[in-house]
Structure 1
Amino acid sequence: PDDYSDGYVSSGFPPPKFSLAGKKNVKLLVIPVNFADRKISDKLYSQAQVAVAKGEGFYSFNSFGRVNFDFELLEKNSWIDLPMDYGFYEQQWSSGAIDVTQFLLDQVKDYKASNPDAITWLFPEGKYKIVQRPFSERTKEFRFGNSVLPAARVYGLHENLESIGINGFDHGVGHALYSFEDLYIFAGYSLSGKAEQPGNGWDVMIGGGDFFAWSKWIAGWLKDEEVYCLRNTQDLQTIYLRSIHDLVGRKLLAIPLGNYEILLGEYRTNATNATLAKFGLCENDAVRPCSNYPNSGLLLYKLDTKIKHGAAPFRVAQLFEDELLKVTFSNCV
């Protein structure tokens, strides 16, 4: 099957061209869209408010608090309220003659806040057929207010779009902000003919979890000095890795296997409720753990950047529910 990434998503260095890697202040705008016959329900709006707030905390937590994220869901008085039924617009959009993204951006009312770095959409639940005018993700830009945004950072319009609420918000934001690629297997690459999620639970770009430490490094959240880069030799070496959640110390083991492949290791364990509460990811008085790793230990995985987008460039040694490799605890950094 074709590689639909058009070169703007990647799991390797340097970061993709349109990634916000290294930026210290990042603003995301979520724009709701209503049609005359399809409206965002109060329930969906409430769910979106929670998801956007928790999404901001999720990215702040994964960046170790080193990035100031500002996720904004447009207030109702600024929503896009299209006057006709959805069928009218589907007929207009089906030929691809209308630039749907720019059309929708032009409908936003009275938005006077600071210019966003990226935009995503919130549609009423249902199926949509949106044929975009052909363009290259590398070169296309969209106007919004006084700003110009690359197409890679205006995310969420697909030819066959099915809005099922706010599910997958954090995943979509990964595309919009950092050009993270999908890490699950597309149906066209899968032996079963269906999309598969090997390693689900370890990275939100597979389907759920936090982020691989490697992805945190690409995004600029993990510092160079927090990574062990070792040569691929048979010599015995002793290293000390800190938890992936620790603010200090080395947290990622990287052993290059060639120009395109690398073996990676990180220590996964649950963050404390107190830590998660600082980012709005846990109630202050929660009794049960808010982090849900079933086991603690060393997670090993391999990245092959030659593998096309959609064919799962990461290979993970353990399933989410598996026992991880046991490590010796130490106070050494």
Structure 2
Amino acid sequence: MRLLPPVLLGAITALAATISTTHDHRPSTLTPRANAPTCKLTASNGGYVGGSLHEAFGPSTVCAPSKGLLNTFMFFVDFSDYPASNTGDDTPAKLKEFFAPSMEWYTHSSYGRLNFSLAVDASRFYRMPGNASTYNLGRGTITTESHLKYIRDAVDVYLSAGGKAPGDPYDVVYIVPARNALTIEAAFTTLTPIRSRSGVSFSKFSAVTTGMNTYTHWQYKVINHETGHALCLPDLYPSTGSAGGYVGGWDLMGYIKATGPDYFAWHKWKLGWIDDAQVDCITDRGSTTHTVYPVELKGSAMETKAVVVKRNNTMALVAEVRAKTGVDMTACATGVVLYTVQNADPRGRVAGPIRVIDSTPRSGGCRGEELSDGTLTLERVKTLAVPGWNVTVSVTEKVGEAYRVKVDVY
């Protein structure tokens, strides 16, 4: 979950995903691949404002770097009402091991384009000045102000107790409580630079705090989900209801425990892990055929990773291929995943900015995730007419891990 600065907090509303039935047909002499930049959705102001998160492309001053080096730091805190046991799994050294796989996850998902550098102070727990119960860090009680107070208290305590100040501010800082701090409930991200109250610049872009559900439910990948917010990716789950409601078992921005947790091709394109040359863009009526390769595999620089049908400046339809490999080794279905992308107003966000289209509705899904088996394959559902889009997508052949995908736009 991400939190926005106070100036934006009151402006955020859950917008209905309204879909026009009119297709924006613009003549083009470009090939689908050369035309790829045309399919990028942009915010109404051409980029980001403040801490608003959405699915648009554009420049940003609030997003942590998604390519090259992401310089991050983690330290541990405890409380007088919940002191760390400093035994068993509740020691800084053991917690460091607990979160270590998060770095490897990004290496695989980014095809090596993001070097996730995580420095950890595992020397001790730093005692917070307030009781855990006073910080109001539950899902129903947290505010931007209470989150920032917690973060600044932690940074102040760390520095005053002899913690080393960064020579150059970190991109993202992670503040992790001891395992028994029961009232520090969930994980949150604040998209704002962090300074100590004495003026020490500690992080350039954001701070992440974890909570009890990290240990009891989400495990280490909560770091990957919250870091996704630091990279300016939005939540893909309903503000009320079950996690994964819009995307099922795909993309950990919708469900951290997803069976296919790798980022959607759209997100990888937005983050710069997939190049324009790997995206086929369709803006006109007609029939086209594409060879699409799995999102999980780096492949060659010219392998198509996504086919995008652009409806207008705010909506697109995406077809991508998923395989049981990379960080999706636990996927319970493979094949072509279809989903819609909707750009949010920069002052708020859309309810379900990405929504997976289910080829097998009411099947019950697999492993309890309704949408997880909704792929197009040669063995089950080969063709799907996308509701409301005048678009039909068909799987015609499988070559190795790649699929031949036919797209008809009427």
**One fold, TM greater than 0.5?**
yes
Structure 2 counterpart of 1:223, one-letter code: D
Instruction: Check the 8 A contact 1:232/1:257 in 2, yes or no.
Output: no
Distance between the aligned counterparts of 2:134 and 2:320, measured in 1?
51
TM-score by structure 1 length? Answer: 0.75
**CA separation of 1:184 and 1:226: change in aligned 2, threshold 3 A:** same
Instruction: Check the 8 A contact 2:75/2:121 in 1, yes or no.
Output: yes
Instruction: Check the 8 A contact 2:135/2:150 in 1, yes or no.
Output: no
2:339 to 298, 301, 305: 301
Matches within 5 A, 1:92-131: 99-108=149-158, 109-111=162-164, 115-124=169-178, 125-128=181-184
Instruction: Check the 8 A contact 2:129/2:153 in 1, yes or no.
Output: no
**CA separation of 1:86 and 1:315: change in aligned 2, threshold 3 A:** closer
Are positions 1:227 and 2:279 aligned together? yes
When the two chains are superposed, the root-mean-square deviation of aligned CA atoms in Å is 3.4
Once the two structures are superposed, what CA deviation does each residue of 1:11-63 show, in whole Å capped at 9, x if it has no partner?
21115532234530112222211112313454245663344211111111110
2:67 to 23, 27, 37: 23
TM-score by structure 2 length? Answer: 0.62
Structure 2 counterpart of 1:48, one-letter code: L
1:259 to 313, 324, 345: 313
SS in 1 for 2:312: coil
Structure 2 counterpart of 1:81, one-letter code: R
1:153 to 206, 214, 224: 206
Are positions 1:63 and 2:63 aligned together? no
Structure 2: state its 5+ residue gaps.
1-9, 15-49, 137-141, 359-370, 379-394, 405-410
Distance between the aligned counterparts of 2:12 and 2:134, measured in 1?
32
Residue 244 of structure 1, CA deviation: 0.9
Instruction: Check the 8 A contact 2:129/2:157 in 1, yes or no.
Output: no
Instruction: Check the 8 A contact 2:307/2:319 in 1, yes or no.
Output: yes
Distance between the aligned counterparts of 2:331 and 2:281, measured in 1?
26
Once the two structures are superposed, what CA deviation does each residue of 1:233-259 show, in whole Å capped at 9, x if it has no partner?
2x1111111111222212111121101
Instruction: Check the 8 A contact 1:29/1:120 in 2, yes or no.
Output: yes
Are positions 1:3 and 2:51 aligned together? no
Residue 201 of structure 1, CA deviation: 1.5
2:352 to 312, 318, 324: 312
Are positions 1:164 and 2:213 aligned together? yes
More displaced 10-residue stretch of structure 1: 109-118 or 68-77: 109-118
1:204 to 249, 252, 260: 252
Are positions 1:186 and 2:239 aligned together? yes
Structure 2 counterpart of 1:171, one-letter code: H
Structure 2 counterpart of 1:301, one-letter code: Y
Instruction: Check the 8 A contact 2:154/2:175 in 1, yes or no.
Output: no
2:101 to 54, 64, 83: 54
More displaced 10-residue stretch of structure 1: 116-125 or 60-69: 116-125
More displaced 10-residue stretch of structure 1: 140-149 or 62-71: 140-149
Residue 312 of structure 1, CA deviation: 1.1
**CA separation of 1:88 and 1:195: change in aligned 2, threshold 3 A:** closer
Corresponding residue for residue 82 of structure 1: 128
Distance between the aligned counterparts of 2:153 and 2:129, measured in 1?
14
Once the two structures are superposed, what CA deviation does each residue of 1:252-303 show, in whole Å capped at 9, x if it has no partner?
11121101001111110111xxxx5xxxx7xxxxxxxx81222221111001
Structure 2 counterpart of 1:203, one-letter code: D
Distance between the aligned counterparts of 1:47 and 1:2, measured in 2?
41
Distance between the aligned counterparts of 1:163 and 1:129, measured in 2?
5
Structure 1 counterpart of 2:101, one-letter code: K
Instruction: Check the 8 A contact 1:36/1:85 in 2, yes or no.
Output: yes
Structure 2 counterpart of 1:239, one-letter code: H
Instruction: Check the 8 A contact 2:357/2:374 in 1, yes or no.
Output: no
Distance between the aligned counterparts of 1:129 and 1:243, measured in 2?
36
